Structure 1
Amino acid sequence: MTAPLRTIRICADDYGIAPGVNRAILDLLDAGHIDATSVMMLPKSLDADAVVALAAVKQRRPTISVGLHLTLTAPFRAMTTGQPFKPIKDTLVAALMRRHDRAVLDAEVRAQLAAFTERFGQPPDHVDGHQHVHLFPQVRDAVLAAIAEAAPSATVRQCGRAGSWAARIADRKGLVLDLLSIAFRRRAVRHGIATNTAFAGTYDFDADADFGALFPRFLDSLPDGGLVMCHPGFVDAELQRLDPLTGLREREYAYFMAEAFPRTLADKNIVLA
């Protein structure tokens, strides 16, 4: 019996972080092997050429989703104040303790959203967060309020997975995102903001991770309207300076460009949005 047709998105995060990442994402978008990317506004590698190149792909393939990858953690600096952000763990603890200054958060979120709109000539198609920071308490309220006002037609990424809770427990990182996404989805509904139905793509970024074996499993319980996060890229000095996720990006890129990838989608009766 043929599985029901499912339409999903595959979104490459971190466009703008480094030239090698930009090049890999553009390749995959142009080839039609992914259909979304999320853009970081703070790194210097989001230069004029990077914006023009992505806008050109969007013009050739208007159904792709180009969104804002809100960035609020180290090693980057705030657009509004120039001050360095704290590491992810410190940012999460401060959010859980409700220690962030909401006015400062509001200003930074709105500044990055406005910068995206100015540079690409339109609001983002979707919004998510680098290191999933948009799900954090306090941050989520600033994000949803800004989207409702400045980009009401944008979707926002929720990171709750499909499937039984028993099956989710083995992935501790994914479980944290599941729990944070419960409150996030409720708030998104109150703001009238659409979200993806379910999420996949988390794994332990160990050096020996087999992305080719992992990816088909991401699709097993993903429903229609689901989203898979990925991080393809080529390693260069700028990426090594800014992010610990390096070699695995090349492994992800190679998988998406290989013949096994479209066969996997076809076998599972999945098409891209």
Structure 2
Amino acid sequence: MDSQFNAAGTEYRRIVLCADDFGMNAAVDAGILGLAGRGRLSGASCLVDGPTFEAGARRLADSGLQLGLHLNFTESFGQAGPCQPLSSLIASAYLRRLPRRALQASIERQLRRFEYRIGRVPDYVDGHQHVHQLPGVREALVEAMGRYPEPRPWLRDTGNPRAAGLPLRLRAKAWVIAALGAASLRRQARARGLRTSGGFLGVYDFQGGVPAYLSWMRRWLGACRDGDVLMCHPALGPDPRDALSAQRQAEFEVLGGEAMADLLAHYRISIVGAQAPGSSG
């Protein structure tokens, strides 16, 4: 990325702040759109089979955010194609039991649905619960990306977590996520000329309300480097069907509030979304 300076001539680090799960429910969608309106997001990742995606797609397309496909094989919305709990999916992936043709068909279907509703090609692709990097899924995804002309969508890389200063349980969670296929996805993507993101932040245990999330945000922003991706999961208002609803609301409060503005200024960080992040193949 090119350097960016504030009025005093001090260089900023620029990060890509992506909100996941657009389309999951109305509270999530409202939270993402609200933060977009405040200039507190770079992008939003879409669950294209989610119950509210179709209704919110036009407003999201007009938001000015980078928009990505949040590839889904674990959250059941009654959609066609493979779908199973994350633990079962991981086991099937590493036992090489995932049906390749069904994976390819589902990836293509999700990509086409994104393009139809948003009206353009996704800027990037990542995975709900990071499924995009699992064996079998990543090969089918990289193959599907090959049909796009340059510049192709970039892929989220979880393989370089910025976990300094976090407690051991969160560092371990970040490294487990990375170990589930990030290096192989990066290698395969680069072999096909696909871009991948740089460092990865935002992994935590979805507990603790505003105080905990503000504490983790302070540490993430202190550890990030130019071009890193920081994921988040905000929502505006409750949803009784969402087990993470309370913590999603806490994320929204932090991300949209003055404390976040103070942290961005303190650490000299700019939230951007105009360019693909981080490293490339």
State the TM-score, normalized to the length of structure 2.
0.86
Distance 1:151 1:114, change over 3 A: farther
Cα deviation for residue 234 of structure 1 reads: 2.8
Q: CA deviation at 1:236?
A: 3.9
**2 CA distance for matches of 1:254 and 1:7?**
22
Residues 1:56 and 2:62 aligned together: yes
AA aligned opposite 2:78: R
Once residues 177 and 167 of structure 1 are traced to their aligned partners in structure 2, the CA distance between those partners, rounded to angstroms, is 15
Verify the 8 A CA contact 1:20 1:234 in the aligned structure 2: yes
CA–CA distance in 2 between the matches of 1:144 and 1:112?
Answer: 14
Q: Distance in 2 between matches of 1:128 and 1:260?
A: 28
Query: What one-letter code is carried by the residue in structure 1 that aligns with 2:124?
Result: H
User: 2:221 matched to which residue of 1?
Assistant: 219
Q: Which runs of 5+ in 1 are unaligned?
A: 59-63
Q: Does 1:25 align with 2:32?
A: yes
- Against the structure 1 CA distance between its residues 3 and 145, is the aligned structure 2 distance closer, same or farther, given a 3 Å change threshold? farther
CA distance in 1, matches of 2:223, 2:163: 10
**CA apart distance, 1:151:** 6.3
Q: Give the structure 2 partner of residue 156 of structure 1.
A: 155
Q: Which runs of 5+ in 2 are unaligned?
A: 1-8, 273-281
For the aligned residues, what is the CA RMSD? 2.2
CA offsets 1:121-159 (integer angstroms, 9 cap, x no match): 111011111111101111111111112213652111011
Letter of the 1:13 counterpart: D
Q: 1:234 to 1:167 in 2, by over 3 A?
A: closer
User: Which residue of the partner structure matches residue 61 of structure 1?
Assistant: none
Secondary structure of 1:192's counterpart equals coil
| Residue of structure 1 equivalent to 2:198 | 197
1:162, CA displacement in angstroms? 4.5
Matched, 1:88 2:86: yes
Aligned equivalents of 1:167, 1:251: Cα separation in 2: 19
Partner of 1:16: 23
Aligned counterpart, 1:183 = 184
More helix, by proportion: 1
Spell out structure 1 runs of 4+ moving beyond 6 A.
Answer: 164-168
The DSSP-based 3-state class of the residue aligned with 1:100 is coil
- Structure 2 residue matching 1:5: 3-state secondary structure: strand
Q: Identity rate of aligned residues, in percent?
A: 31
Quote the residue 1:256 is aligned against: 255
**Counterpart residue number, 2:72:** 71
Using the alignment, how far apart are the partners of 2:22 and 2:186 within structure 1?
A: 25
Contact 2:142 2:192 in 1 (8 A): yes
Residue 35 of structure 1: aligned partner: 42
What residue identity is the alignment partner of 2:92? A
Secondary structure, in 3 states, of the residue corresponding to 2:53? coil
CA contact (8 A) 1:67 1:125 kept: yes
The whole-number CA distance in structure 2 between the counterparts of 1:43 and 1:20 is 13
Evaluate the alpha carbon distance shift between residue 102 and residue 3 of structure 1 in structure 2; reply closer, same or farther with a 3 A threshold.
farther
Q: Distance in 2 between matches of 1:135 and 1:17?
A: 21
**Which residue number corresponds to residue 137 of structure 1?**
135
Residues 13 and 163 of structure 1: is their aligned pair in 2 closer, same or farther, counting only changes over 3 Å?
closer
